[in-house]
Amino acid sequence: MMLSKNLKYLRAQKGISQREIAADLTITRARYAKYEEALSEPPIEVLLKLCQYHQISIDTLITVDLKNLDQKTELIENS
């Protein structure tokens, strides 16, 4: 599952801290960090909030390597 990797990538793309995103989602920074470190999986209600926050589908968030997808898209656009 790509969830933890994608959460790190999306947060980095927005240039925000774990503390900021956790506050926006009304969860603790420690709890959010566990999702990014793949030490815990978010319950469905948090997963839905994450998807709304990042404006992305659950399917994409958990199954697609977004960093790799962006790199491939950039290569295509630059060729």
* 46-78 pLDDT tens trace: 999 999 999 999 999 999 999 887 555 554 455
CB 60 within 8 A of CB 1: no
State the total domains in the chain.
1
**10: domain range?**
3-78
Query: What's the whole-number mean pLDDT along residues 26-37?
Result: 98
pTM of the model: 0.84
CATH of the domain at 24: 1.10.260.40
Q: Is 64 exposed, middle or buried (0-12, 13-18, 19+ CB in 10 A)?
A: middle
